Amino acid sequence: MKKILASTMMLATFALAGCTSTGTTNNGTGTAIGTANEIGMNVFRAAIDNQCRSQIEKQNAWRVASVAMTEAQQESVKTNVCGCVSEQAPQQVTIVELGNAAIDSQYRTQLVAQVVAKSLQSCYTSFVQ
């Protein structure tokens, strides 16, 4: 029942996004899908950023490095690293995975954790060196 309700809400969101979109397409369908995709990706990026910040603080390397930093420097590093992770996120997921994440919160949590795990270390290393 929850999945049906969630699916209905997603369809309503797509429909409303189409109503608020402006573009050059004749029928507006492409613009509505693009807008809905962009909204979904923004929500996904926010979830990635939150998970990234949480994961950074759990890493031993961060604990050691952050001792020598001010709070402003720590926040700057977190912002840069998690911005990198968030930018890499769209290249690591498919539209199907995003759709599943929009409907199923457990799947969304797993997907976000996987994406962060894949790119956190490379981004962290590039900014801390």
Distance CA 125, CA 12 (A): 42
pLDDT the model gives residue 30:
64
Residue 1 maps to a domain: no
Is residue 12 pLDDT above 50, yes or no?
A: no
The tens digit of pLDDT for each residue in 91-126 reads: 888 888 888 888 888 998 899 999 898 888 778 777
pTM: 0.64
Looking at the structure of the chain, the number of domains it has is 1
Question: ∠89-32-17 over CA atoms, to 5°?
Answer: 90
Task: Report residue 76 as tokens.
Answer: 């700057």
Is 23 inside a domain boundary?
no
Domain assignment present for 8: no
Interatomic CA distance for residues 104 and 92, integer angstroms: 18
Print the domain residue range for 44: 39-126
